[in-house]
Copies of this chain bind each other. A is one copy, B any other.
Amino acid sequence: MTAAEAVGVLRFDRVTKEYPRSGLALHEVSFRVAKGEFVFLTGPSGAGKSTILRLAYFAERPTSGLVRVSGVNSEHASRREISKLRRRLGIVFQDFRLLEDRTAEENVGFALEVTGVPRAQIGPKVSRVLTQVGLAAKATAFPRELSGGEQQRVAIARALVNDPFVLIADEPTGNLDERATRGVFQLLREINAAGTAIIMATHDLDLVRHADYRTLELNRGQIVFDSAESPEPAA
């Protein structure tokens, strides 16, 4: 396990994912993400970005190959191990996945309740992170009372609130305007600077070009470009 951490917090080894009706979503994908690294995942719609991320938080298991996240292994991981791992991850889902019958702050606080954080500490943490994403004013609104971008920011806040060691974000700025995108991205940079590894699927190539982080480009379920291997940037 310590050896695994030395080589990367997240590691895919020849991972293939096949869906019953639609065939290969990923084909022999291998890569690793080092501790504290920031990785962009790009590629056309349907390339397999979300599939990689779902495998990374064990919402799915690979058809073949091995996924390892912080010592948890896709071949042997128990339900309990997966639950424990997820408490240390921050996940932003492409479709937000907010609880419809809880307010914005309850949705964010929920990620802390699950990990057993004492009630007294939850309130301040939630306020802080909602302020960071610019949603302090909407704390008591329910998801249906929020605009698309506001919902997305609640989802980001929830992923950040438990100080994850890896942040997995699936198009976290898809519903945000340029300014909000810059704000959220700035926040992710700060978190990354503090040591959190970030793996972020995005189709905002402007962001990718300007940020100059490592980029993995997917196409039809295969990695077609990895900026860590060929040093010239995509643009």
Task: Say whether A22 faces chain B, with CB atoms less than 8 Å apart.
Answer: yes
| A141 in contact with B94 (CB, 8 Å) | no
Q: Distance in Å from the Cβ of A94 to the closest Cβ of chain B?
A: 5
Residues of chain B lying within 8 A (CB to CB) of residue A146: 46
Contacts A22-B141, A138-B22, A171-B175; A147 near B205 (Cβ below 8 A):
no
A174: chain B residues at CB < 8 Å are 148, 174-175
B171:A45 contact, CB within 8 angstroms: no
- Contact among B19, B46, B50, B180 for A45, CB-based, below 8 A: B180
Closest to A147 in B: B46
Most buried by B among A50, A150, A152, A174: A174
B45 touches A147 (CB 8 A): yes
Query: Is A203 an interface residue when CB atoms closer than 8 A count as contact?
Result: yes
Is B150 in contact with A46, judged by CB distance below 8 angstroms?
yes
> Smallest Cβ distance from A123 to chain B, in angstroms?
20
- Among A169-183, those with CB < 8 Å from B are 170-171, 174-180
| Interface residues as binary, A164-206 with B (CB distance below 8 Å gives 1, 0 otherwise) | 0000001100111111100000000000000000000001011
Judging by beta carbons under 8 Å apart, are B148 and A171 in contact?
A: yes
A149 at the interface (CB under 8 A from B): yes
Q: Does chain B have a CB within 8 A of A11?
A: no
In the complex, residue of chain B having the shortest beta-carbon distance to the beta carbon of A44: B177
- Residue A62 interfacial (CB < 8 Å): no
Q: Is A145 an interface residue (CB 8 A)?
A: yes
A-B contacts besides A45-B180, A176-B203, 17 pairs, CB < 8 Å = A21-B141, A22-B141, A42-B177, A44-B177, A44-B179, A45-B148, A45-B153, A45-B175, A45-B176, A46-B146, A46-B147, A46-B149, A46-B150, A49-B147, A148-B174, A174-B175, A178-B203
Residues of A within 8 A of B (CB): 19, 21-22, 42-46, 49-50, 94-95, 138, 140-141, 145-150, 152-153, 170-171, 174-180, 203, 205-206
